[in-house]
Every structure is written in C-alpha cells, then in structure tokens.
Amino acid sequence: MADLQRLAIASHQIDKQKVFLTVEQQRYLGRVLRLGVGEKFIVMDGEGKWWLAKLSLDVSGKSGLIAILEAEISIQNELPIDLILICALPKGNSFDEVVRQSTELGVTEFFPVISSRTLLKPSPQRLRRWEKIATEAAEQSERQVVPRIRDVGEYFATLALFESQNLSTNCDRYICVARNSYSLLLESLLDNRKQESIVIATGPEGGWTNEEIEAAIATGFQAVSLGKRILRAVTAPLVALSIVNSVLERRNI
C-alpha cells in the first residue's frame, strides 16, 4: 500500500462506511492526484486511524464523489510520546517551512508565540494556512496524526499555560538557548528515560531575552544548548526535533 495516495479528512465526514468529501477534496483527488471512480487510496482521520478507501459516485446526489471505506489499516508511525513545539515566530513566511518539516519530524502540537524580539505579527489567515500545510505534511510523511496548531499567543501567556493543570503533568520541558554553557539537549534527553511528553521551545531572530529564559526556567523548563554554532530561527527547531527523534526512535526499536 506504500504506493497509494493519502487523504486527510475530518472524522465528522464519516457516516458509517461513507466519507462525504468536500469540494476541495474532490478536486484534489480528481485533478491533482488524477484518481478516477473505483480507484483506491488511503483515508486518514488525523486522529490515529487509517482506512483503505475507494472513490465512488454519490448516488444520493448530496455530493459528486464520496469515499467508501473498505478496511481499516493497522499502522504505527507515530513517536511513542507527544512532542510539543513552542516556537517564536520567525520573520516572513519562514514559519510555513517550520510547520511542514516539524510535522514530518513528529510534532503533535504547535504553540507559535510572539516574544520580545519577534518581528512577525501574523494575520488570522496565517493560522488556516499553517493548518493546511500541517495536513499536507502529515499526508506526505505517512503520519497517523495531524498536529494541532494553537492560536498565536504572547510568550509569557503561553508559559503560564504550562503551569495550568492541563499542560503541567508529566512533560519534560526544554528551552533552547544560544551562546551559553548549558548542557546539550542530547545529554539531557539521554539522562532522562521516562519522558511521557516533551516540550521544546526555540527562540526568534536574536534569541530569547534573559527575562524570557528566566521565566521559562521558573516554569519548569530546563535551559539547554544545541551546540556551539549559532543557528537561524528556522533551523533551531529542526535541529532540536531531529535530536529528540533520534533518541525516541532508538528507544522504540
């Protein structure tokens, strides 16, 4: 089934064994993927389930094309624990690629934040764009889960969320800091083998301020280094997530 195309849908689109496709999804299957009636593909609900599906005409007339679910597919491509990224928004459209590549690396939830040195002030339309990018990246990378992207928040307000009951339990938190003598992220991960979830925070162009670092540490974050070189704001999350991936995948073998 590796050669079959994949389509992410919302669970509410499923009614018994039928998936009622949106106009955009029908256009994507027909015009972009060039699938015809009777051809098979994989449907994923973004919450962990995959099905083998067949494209069919909707005889009820509610929509042009529907998908018929033929069989559930058992697959496990996710990391063994949740991986959360707090990312100070980089300038321009750079966060688009952070979302795309971080989704490929297994992030389950994004917290885009505005910090003291953040240059970008995104419009509400950006969130919908990021959600679309995350969905496409999840399809491409054969993820079972489409990551959640939170509304853009102010940095200190986001930290406060991790002191609340919902986000404070059983998660190891790391804030990546440049130009420092902190322990390497890799060393910290190897020292702790009982993580139930991991939170990674990466800064903006120019890095975190001292006040921001101190606030994170006070909230239970461990300050860590990604190495001696100074990484760009769009590079740091990918380096950090790659390190986490290597450790978790090795443990899961």
**Confidence (pLDDT) at 122:** 78
- Shared domain for 11 and 98, answered yes or no, is no
The shares of helix, strand and coil residues in the chain, as percent rounded to the nearest 5, are 30, 25, 40
Q: What is the pTM of this model?
A: 0.86
Kindly report the average pLDDT of the chain as a whole number. 90
CATH code, 33 = 2.40.240.20
Element (H, E) at 95: helix 94-104
Identify whether 1 is part of a domain: no
DSSP 17: T
| Residue numbers of the domain that contains 113 | 82-252
- Shared domain for 54 and 100, answered yes or no, is no
- Shared domain for 27 and 105, answered yes or no, is no
Question: For residue range 220-247, what is the model confidence (pLDDT) as tens digits?
Answer: 999 999 999 999 999 999 999 999 999 9
Residues 145 and 78: beta-carbon distance below 8 Å: yes
Domain boundary among 73, 90, 107: 73
Question: For residue range 37-71, what is the model confidence (pLDDT) as tens digits?
Answer: 999 999 998 888 899 999 998 877 666 889 999 99
> How do strand 153-154 and strand 109-114 relate by DSSP bridges?
parallel
